[in-house]
Amino acid sequence: MELSIKVKTTDRLVRLDWLVKAARNAFSAPVSSLLKREDEYKLVKEAYKKPRFIEDIIRFAINNVYSKLKEENFSKNTEIEVKAESLESIHPHNAFACRKTTLKNLEKNEKNLKD
């Protein structure tokens, strides 16, 4: 799985650790590159408790970034772009999803969901 998050703003710099946390929290289980067999089993079992397709990961990543930037009072014109590609092993093709939006659009959608 490859995931990228880009934020474009004129206000100030976005902290890299915010984006890393937003990305890590978008997945169905923690990301780890080296595991023992027993730990891998636990990780896979945990992932099955809250399965997420690639479009879910995009949605969660966007929402995680939005929540943090809203909390930090970033400009409503701030742009967020998230892209993900799942390197499929059971299909003859990879899955790809992306979304580009602004804090203003996300805030508008958030208000519509509450009404």
Half-sphere CA count of 21, side-chain side, radius 13 A:
11
pLDDT at 115 over 60: no
Q: Is the pTM of this model over 0.95?
A: no
How high is the mean pLDDT of the chain? 89
104: its two tokens: 């203003």
Band of pLDDT at residue 114, cut at 50, 70 and 90: low
Please tell me the distance from the alpha carbon of residue 50 to that of residue 104, in angstroms, as a whole number: 29
Give the mean pLDDT of 5-12: 92
Condensed to tens digits (0 to 9), the pLDDT of residues 32-88 reads: 777 788 888 887 888 788 888 999 999 999 999 999 999 999 999 999 999 999 887
Name the phi and psi angles at 80, rounded to 5. -125, 130
The CATH architecture of the domain made up of 2-114 is Roll (3.10)
pLDDT score for 17: 97
Name the phi and psi angles at 64, rounded to 5. -65, -45
Q: Which amino acid is at 40?
A: E
Band of pLDDT at residue 90, cut at 50, 70 and 90: confident
Half-sphere CA count of 109, side-chain side, radius 13 A:
10
Residue 75's closest CA among 6, 9, 4?
A: 9
